[in-house]
Amino acid sequence: MRYLTLLLACLPWVASLAQTPVVPAAPVTIPVPTLSARAWILVDYATGQVLAEHNSKQRLEPASLTKMMTTYLVAEALADKRLSLQQPVVVSERAWRTQGSRSFVPVNGQVLVDDLLKGMVIQSGNDASVALAEAVGGSEPAFAIMMNQTAQRLGLKDTNFLNASGFFDGAQPTHYSTAHDMARLAAALVREHPEIHRLHATKEYTYAGIRQYNRNRLLWADPTVDGLKTGHSNAAGYCLVATSLRAPRRLISVVLGAPSDEARARDSLNLLSWGYMAFDAIKVYGKGQTVSQFKVFKGAQNTVKVGVTEDLIISLPRGMAAKLTTRLESRQPLLGPVHLGTKVGTLKLALGGQAWGEYPVVALEEVPVAGFFGRLWDTLVLWFR
């Protein structure tokens, strides 16, 4: 066993929980499994807590993990009705000639988006990836620009994509990402496009009479694993982004640069198992639960109920729940009108007196603006405060 400093920090991954600066927890040393990968990270999906990491911000080639961004952009196009699952796509010669893993789509043939998506997600087909990139972006180079723009929007600060598949004839150091960024991208895909994420749990599918299997070994080894993506090249080594749900908690692990297919599966399983065993899932507050009431000035009512938009479930080292304390800070002065869902304060957590993280609290109800005399009175009150 080796000891690593765990950066148990609540990072801004989930939109509903990540709109305030985060105070990282004080370093805590907990023994973690010995892993063979060059870089890795384990993240609590709901809060963005980093439970363990090693070289998580080292830029490495992601190989087919690149397809996670391609999948994300295709999912966005489907959600925006720019693309439909039953829409036929003509497979260009460029897409058909793409080397590496293939979905066996015919050149100049018309293939449904649904089949291309399955070919990319389940079989990791490079040909399907390029065909989808051309359908969404017009061309693969134009799609790569979209990929990098989306990466910036999602806060992937150490990521740069050159193509839609991640395949290159040799090393390509300017096509890179990090374990940290890949975990963040995985969280965005799960959160924003759950229906597409469910495809990643499919073990096999058949196209043109050819049965194709998912390359993620964990789908057979652990029934709680429901994704997400494998990757491999000589330069990148063996990579795996895994998602696992053991209610009420979902964990995301990223392993980059493992020495073999077996090693990346073993590292991922060890990391996920350790995360579930070493930490307890603690529900701090429930979705829509009134945490407190804040004073409102110039509002039609004097107070507003506040809480969190989703269940706030955090990971704490096993047996430490009794040492968790909470402190609520209101944004003051809070002026009417206050709209439902507006951030109105911050919930600060501490564990044994050490800062553990911050989460926004929002208004759970509408507070209309007060009438003329109410506003006038509160103006005077605020003047003399």
Q: Which residues are catalytic?
A: 64, 67, 124
Q: Which helix (H) or strand (E) holds 120?
A: helix 113-121
DSSP code at position 116: H
User: Residue 162: phi, psi to the nearest 5?
Assistant: -110, -20
CB 177 within 8 A of CB 62: yes
Please say whether the beta carbons of 165 and 130 come within 8 A. yes
70: which residues sit within 8 A by CB, 6+ positions away? 120, 129, 132, 133, 143, 147, 164, 165
- Where does residue 326 rank: exposed (0-12), middle (13-18), buried (19+ CB within 10 A)? middle
Rg (C-alpha) for the chain, rounded Å, is: 24
DSSP string, 186-210: HHHHHHH-HHHHGGGG--EEEETTE
Q: For residue 364, which of 316, 295, 293 has the smallest C-alpha distance?
A: 293
Whole-angstrom Cα distance, residue 25 to residue 20?
Answer: 15
